[in-house]
Amino acid sequence: TEKTMDKLVALCKGRGFIYPGSEIYGGLANTWDFGPLGVELKNNIKSAWRKKFIQECKYNVGLDSAILMNPQTWVASGHIGGFSDPLMDCKACKTRHRADNLIEDFDGTNCAGWSNEQMMDYIREKGITCPNCGKADFTDIRQFNLMFKTFQGVTEDSKSELYLRPETAQGIFVNFMNIQRTTRKKVPFGVAQVGKSFRNEITPGNFIFRVREFEQMELEFFCKPGTDLDWFYFWKDYCKKWLLSLGINEENLRLRDHDQEELCFYSKATTDFEYLFPFGWGELWGVADRTDYDLTQHIKTSGQKMEYFDPETNEKYVPYVIEPSLGVERLFLAVITEAYDEEQLEDGTTRNVMHFHPYLAPVKAAVLPLSKKLADKAGEIADELSKYFCVDYDDAGAIGKRYRRQDEIGTPFCITYDFDSVEDGCVTVRERDSMKQERMPIADVKKYIEDRIAF
């Protein structure tokens, strides 16, 4: 199956996964609204993450911190000083570009760690041209801060300035002491949260891959200095296994270690999990050993004590942090890329089917009465099952067509209620991938499906 972005975007819009934002007003570029199926899939992705990283993990606890934070947070984290992209304008056509993107798109060179001068020299030396107008006449590079600024209260002066958080991580760091005290957790332990982040990206695009409003699933794992690299490998492995268990194909995944030049100055080790999207490899998940950088910065900026007292060794120290940070939209895009299939059937026809892991599938089961005369009984089954999981009910059209509609949205089970069902109290359950059908008592259906959507 050839998977293209155009096909995925069309499927998402046509089936109600994702619509262009504010469409009736001509849209707002690079914003997207998650439709009825999209919101289910997205919630299932988040709940699979919370299950694995909080519920099933004895080390970790959850948090839901505020999007608006005291601006000192961003002084401490370095976002006010350093969170910026190198921008240049094309003098000829006035379009704006990221210098590092111009270089990467030109010959694949990754210029992480380069200075602005190095990038400018490279662009001039190679005669790199504007992708919009083809001219090679750029301004110098300026750094552009990626944080969205807003104001709180009635006055719009600098004292009331706030930022929308560009990552969820800082909400965890500022709560480190609160959480440690109230949970009485001993290091090593982690704090995990899912939430919106905002970045005024210069070059959003590739559908939901790079957007300005997105969700992150972040874990900050606090450990004793010296044990950090062991935990770094532990979490890399944990993250990878989780992706594979959700049906991500190992061939479409690569773990790329940052070399010395690419590493942030405070990071001891960083690995990007990259996924082979239809447009090429792109970062899905960043796993980093952030050392004690963040906590130390907050200690300096706030003047508060944020050291951990180890009751076993009677030592005081600032823990090191391992951070796996994953974007919900990026995993969503990986999941639909992975699931998409135009299957050639033996009879020569093509079946469009989304092979979602049943736990992620937006709709778990569709109840399909063979005739509208059977609507009452079939409706009762749908009502009962909908207490436990998302159910669709469809009585319109030929049964084969109805199966295909469910295949297209990745519903793992179709339950057909026919005239025999009235007599024998049984229904036919059809499985999406194998298309195999099995007859079973109505009373068994709930358990049958629950066993198969378990994760």
- Site residues for ligand ATP per CB under 6 A: 199, 201, 210-211, 214, 216, 283-286, 325-327, 329-330
- Residues 6+ positions from 260 with CB-CB distance below 8 Å: none
Smallest distance, Å, CB 5 to ligand ATP?
15
Q: How far is the CB of 253 from ligand ATP (least distance, A)?
A: 13
Neighbours of 453 (CB within 10 A): 18
Cα–Cα distance for residue pair 275/255, rounded to 1 Å: 9
Cα–Cα distances in angstroms (integers) from residue 162 to residues 57, 75, 140, 200, 396, in the given order: 35, 12, 29, 14, 52
Binding residues for ATP: 199-201, 209-214, 283-284, 327-330
* Residue number, 73 or 216, with CB nearest to ligand ATP: 216
CA 176 to mean position of chain CA atoms = 24
Q: Which one, 176 or 214, has the nearer CB to ligand ATP?
A: 214
Give the residue ranges of the annotated binding site for substrate: 98, 167, 214-218, 323-327
Of residues 112 and 422, the one with the C-beta less far from ligand ATP = 112
Q: Quote the least distance from Cβ 268 to ligand ATP, whole Å.
A: 16
Question: Residue 69 or residue 133: which is nearer to ligand ATP going by CB?
Answer: 69
Determine how β-strand 32-34 pairs with β-strand 18-20.
antiparallel
Smallest distance, ligand ATP to C-beta of residue 328, A: 8
For ligand ATP, the closer of residues 327 and 412 by Cβ is 327
Min dist. Cβ of residue 146 to ligand ATP (A): 9
Other Cβ atoms less than 10 A from the Cβ of 424: the count is 11
Binding site: what residues are annotated? 98, 167, 199-201, 209-218, 283-284, 323-330
Q: How far is the CB of 326 from ligand ATP (least distance, A)?
A: 5
Residue number with the smallest Cβ distance to ligand ATP? 327
* Comparison of 99 and 368: residue with beta carbon closer to ligand ATP: 99
